[in-house]
Chain A
Amino acid sequence: MTAAKKQLAPRDNGAPDHMKMLHPAMEKNYGKWKRHDKIRPGVLKYTAESGDAIFVVRAGSPRTLSVNKIRQICDIADRFCEGHVRFTTRNNLELVVTDEKDVDPLINEITSVLGFPIGGTGHSISNMLHTQGWMHCNLPGTDAAGAVKALMDVLHEEFTREDLPHRVKLSTSCCQINCGGQADIAINLQHHHPPKIDHGTVQQCELPKVVGICPAAAIRPMNVDGKSSLEVVEEKCMYCGACHGQCPSMEIRDPDTDSLAIWVGGKSASTRGGPSFMKLAAFGLPNNPPRWPEVADAVRRILDAYRNGAREYERIGEWIERVGWKNFFEETGFEFTKYHIDSYRFARTTFNTSSHVRL
């Protein structure tokens, strides 16, 4: 290629101008929206002070999209939406029309051409947050896109209906960095051994940084066969994999023992009691591609218990808070073990320091 001599393009362009990307009705009424109405699952109506109204149709997308699929989305948006589209934080596709009569033909086009389900609004299960997994990450112990596909196949009806007590947000993470984030139900991979150090290649890494990154101070320098290397104090190591991200020679994964854990009750919004972290519900589920049926079964059990037990406007964490963890474990059938009791920083703040006991 002769690209070497070519002049470089301008740098530091910054963010594209979002105003030029907006549907004309959204641009015109920017900052002047008055109210919204739920039309049906997946369809919302927004009315501006000017009296203008838009109908937003939300559809589930797999996030990973070929250029072919994106061009199909563009074709539909050109036909119905004056050439504008939007994606949500949870990877849903949003298309806007100004005439209610266009809603059904648009939905028909989305479902028949793209094959995307309509939903993800209100008290439903929304699309699942995830990252790369085996498709493109350097650290994963399991897959992301495939796990999401498998689980959403099982839960797609909850995506298309709004019949849960409140919204349920899901995420998955392929290692203990937990890129997927807090969620009402999260499926996260769990390692079970200290890293295995490759003493032949570890010198390619910045060893002091590897030592420094360990949150448990479990890594120390060691000389192995005359070469600088590291050792891990196994009693201190908590298998987080921080060192593995810093240095690929600190292999934390083990296909024979890595397993999946399910966490419940995470929430970002400051609504009602405020945001909350998710808590351990079940662990030791097999990493079982391509469908992870044991995980799907456990998630279904949590959802069934939530649907039966929660009151309207209670997120999963708020429902458990009200009925207590004893009832949660009884109703889901998961066993409560010593591993559910925190042993890390601030563990005591999670103990029951009262005589309040459900008997």
Chain B
Amino acid sequence: MSDEPKTPLLDDLEEGPWPSFVKDLKDLARTKPEVNQLLGQMERSYEDRVNYWTGTVLNLSGYGGGIIARYSDLKEEFPDIAQFHTIRVIPPSGFVYSTDSLRELCDIAEEYSSGIMQLHGMTGDLLMLGSDNEQTHEAGEALMERGWDIGGSGGALRTLACCVGQARCEMACFDTMGLTKHLTDTFIGELHRPEFPYKFKFKLSGCANDCANSMQRSDMPVIGTWRDEIQVDQEEVRKFVDEHGEQYVVDNVVSRCPTQCISLGEGGIDIDDRNCVKCMHCINVMHTALAPGKDRGATILIGGKRTLKIGDMMSSVLIPFVKLETGEDWKCFTDTVRGIWEYWSENALDHERIGEFIDRVGLGVFLESVGIEPSPQMVRHPRTNSYIKFEEYAAPRAGGEPVKAPNIVDKDEQAESA
């Protein structure tokens, strides 16, 4: 075709050992000519180092998010991509697909959009790129007709993501895929209709290796853990020591334990489980000899986010341990989440992520408001500054009523009340 835009800069990216999206898109352009125009616009960005997309809002009937609308600033030159929107689709938990389901998505993407998909977006959606206003609605209907659903955007619950979990990993301490689906389905209204001060993300990882990157990419990480003892197969320990040598085990396992709770003796390995923080390192290295304990559950954290606006925030511990095995366990967790959302939605500023909100009101106030008991596992250490507003001493009590230090438990009184 003579009107194909020239793309010498992008063409350079057809070379090299890593698979080339340029080559793939050029191949697609033989049946989808608008893809040539997409490459043409990208080439212009490569030349000018200027972006040529404007973003606005476009919604499917009944939904308040999930479509990322893009209009080309160069539509005179590239009319076929004047409207070139992305549809976010909720993927199966853990990004597992049957080929039938992937082919179905391909057919929809080919019929109603440019035939470009991304597996997956950073939040965890499957993305279909390149539908115009009308096609976006048609694609949405076609997807939902076949049982798929649209992902989240804006001030809403976002599409969830999790690690592979129990589908093929012996480390997973709870059913990450199952709970991801359960949370998605339970909170599907919050996902589709933005009612929050700002976005809210869950990510679920089966253990502290955190393959879902939940710690710094989600408002509420759920990370698998256990509260009994690491399972030790001393026979396998001896095999490992024989194979690698004692020094290797000391250097790479014993001395890398963050709480120094491992010792190596003649009987094999000894672990001080009370002091173990379930970091997974020793299990990762000696994975044939060690395994997570049997009384498994998860630690719930809160407040992680990326840079915008006030700088990166790492999540912090909210609930040190919950069981996540039965329907009742799951309901208990979703009830807690609802209470947290209610308090946050009532009191947060516009565009205030829950971590920013907790920074503003204080974790102590937040815990009390959502009904979670403070515990030392939530902090690195108690406060170091002495400016404290003790409610027990505040007016009008400051007038002379006797007040006890609130955290010193009177043993006699405790025995009496029991």
Residues of A within 8 A of B (CB): 1, 3, 6, 8-18, 20-23, 26-27, 30-31, 33-37, 46, 54, 56, 60-71, 73-74, 77-78, 83-89, 91, 96, 114-117, 129, 131, 134-143, 145-146, 149-150, 152-153, 156, 176-182, 209, 212-215, 240-242, 245-246, 248, 253, 255, 258, 266, 268-275, 277, 287, 289-291, 311-313, 344-345
A180 and B216 CA atoms in complex are apart in Å by: 11
Partner among B54, B97, B129, B349 whose Cβ is within 8 Å of the Cβ of A21 = B97
Task: Report which residue of B98, B163, B311 has the largest number of chain A beta carbons within 10 angstroms of its beta carbon.
Answer: B98
Q: Which of B281-289, B368-376, B388-396, B404-412 contacts A (4 or more CB under 8 A)?
A: B281-289
Residues of A within 8 A of B98 (CB): 20-21, 83-84
Does any Cβ of A come within 8 Å of B45's Cβ? yes
Over the window 200-225 of chain B, the binary record of Cβ atoms lying under 8 Å from chain A Cβ atoms (1 yes, 0 no) is 00000000111111111100000100
Partner among B25, B49, B188, B257 whose Cβ is within 8 Å of the Cβ of A287 = B49
Residues of B within 8 A of A96 (CB): 168
4 further A-B pairs in the complex, CB-CB below 8 A; given A21-B96, A137-B55: A9-B143, A11-B144, A67-B116, A215-B311
Residues of A within 8 A of B279 (CB): 270-272, 274
Sort chain B's interface into a size bin.
Answer: 35 or more
A68 and B102 CA atoms in complex are apart in Å by: 12
Residues of A within 8 A of B210 (CB): 268-270, 275
A64 and B23 CA atoms in complex are apart in Å by: 11
Q: Which of B14-22, B267-275, B330-338, B339-347 contacts A (4 or more CB under 8 A)?
A: B14-22
B309 touches A68 (CB 8 A): no
Residues of A within 8 A of B228 (CB): none
Residues of A within 8 A of B232 (CB): none
A96 and B99 CA atoms in complex are apart in Å by: 13
Separation in Å of the B95 CB from the closest CB of chain A? 4
B122 touches A179 (CB 8 A): yes
B54 touches A248 (CB 8 A): yes
What is the predominant secondary structure among interface residues of chain A facing chain B?
Answer: loop
B284 touches A271 (CB 8 A): yes
Residues of B within 8 A of A78 (CB): 99
Does any Cβ of A come within 8 Å of B1's Cβ? no
Over the window 64-101 of chain B, the binary record of Cβ atoms lying under 8 Å from chain A Cβ atoms (1 yes, 0 no) is 00001010000000000000101000111111111111
Residues of A within 8 A of B229 (CB): none
Separation in Å of the B146 CB from the closest CB of chain A? 8
Residues of B within 8 A of A139 (CB): 51, 55
Partner among A14, A34, A290 whose Cβ is within 8 Å of the Cβ of B46 = A290
Separation in Å of the A21 CB from the closest CB of chain B? 4
A269 and B119 CA atoms in complex are apart in Å by: 23
A70 touches B213 (CB 8 A): no
A273 and B116 CA atoms in complex are apart in Å by: 41
Residues of B within 8 A of A313 (CB): 252, 256, 281, 285
Does any Cβ of A come within 8 Å of B360's Cβ? no
A33 and B210 CA atoms in complex are apart in Å by: 18
Does any Cβ of A come within 8 Å of B9's Cβ? yes
Given known A-B contacts A12-B188, A15-B184, A85-B102, A66 and B308 have beta carbons under 8 A apart: no
Smallest Cβ-Cβ distance to A138: which chain B residue: B55
B110 touches A143 (CB 8 A): no
A209 touches B28 (CB 8 A): no
Does any Cβ of A come within 8 Å of B365's Cβ? no
Residues of A within 8 A of B215 (CB): 268-270, 275
A282 and B178 CA atoms in complex are apart in Å by: 42
Over the window 345-363 of chain B, the binary record of Cβ atoms lying under 8 Å from chain A Cβ atoms (1 yes, 0 no) is 0000111000000000000
A74 touches B103 (CB 8 A): yes
Could you jot down 30 A-B contacts, CB within 8 Å? A3-B134, A3-B137, A6-B141, A14-B181, A14-B184, A15-B184, A16-B101, A16-B148, A21-B92, A21-B98, A33-B168, A54-B168, A60-B19, A67-B107, A84-B98, A87-B95, A135-B38, A137-B53, A140-B51, A141-B51, A142-B49, A178-B307, A178-B308, A215-B309, A240-B309, A242-B308, A255-B48, A270-B210, A271-B208, A271-B209
Does any Cβ of A come within 8 Å of B145's Cβ? yes
Residues of B within 8 A of A268 (CB): 210, 213-217
Residues of B within 8 A of A17 (CB): 92, 181
Smallest Cβ-Cβ distance to A345: which chain B residue: B311
Separation in Å of the B36 CB from the closest CB of chain A? 13
Residues of B within 8 A of A (CB): 9-10, 12-13, 15-22, 24-25, 27-28, 35, 38, 41-42, 45-46, 48-55, 61-63, 68, 70, 84, 86, 90-103, 105-107, 109-110, 115-122, 129, 134, 137-138, 140-145, 147-149, 160-161, 163-164, 166-170, 172, 175, 177-178, 180-181, 184-185, 188-189, 192, 208-217, 223, 251-252, 256-258, 277-281, 284-285, 287-288, 306-312, 314, 349-351
Separation in Å of the A145 CB from the closest CB of chain B? 5
Partner among B17, B140, B167, B169 whose Cβ is within 8 Å of the Cβ of A153 = B17
Task: Report which residue of B49, B109, B177, B223 has the largest number of chain A beta carbons within 10 angstroms of its beta carbon.
Answer: B49
Residues of B within 8 A of A178 (CB): 306-308, 312
Separation in Å of the B33 CB from the closest CB of chain A? 14
Partner among A63, A179, A277 whose Cβ is within 8 Å of the Cβ of B118 = A63
A60 and B189 CA atoms in complex are apart in Å by: 35
Partner among A89, A134, A245 whose Cβ is within 8 Å of the Cβ of B45 = A134
A177 and B122 CA atoms in complex are apart in Å by: 13
A289 and B92 CA atoms in complex are apart in Å by: 35
A272 touches B256 (CB 8 A): yes
Residues of B within 8 A of A248 (CB): 54-55
Residues of B within 8 A of A149 (CB): 13, 16, 18, 20-22
B97 touches A14 (CB 8 A): no
Leading 5 A-B pairs by shortest Cβ distance:
A138-B55, A153-B16, A255-B49, A66-B28, A14-B185
Residues of A within 8 A of B95 (CB): 86-89
A15 touches B134 (CB 8 A): no
A289 and B55 CA atoms in complex are apart in Å by: 23
Smallest Cβ-Cβ distance to A69: which chain B residue: B24
Separation in Å of the B23 CB from the closest CB of chain A? 8
A35 touches B170 (CB 8 A): yes
A313 and B282 CA atoms in complex are apart in Å by: 11
A149 and B110 CA atoms in complex are apart in Å by: 25
A274 and B281 CA atoms in complex are apart in Å by: 10
A177 touches B18 (CB 8 A): no
Partner among B42, B147, B277 whose Cβ is within 8 Å of the Cβ of A13 = B147
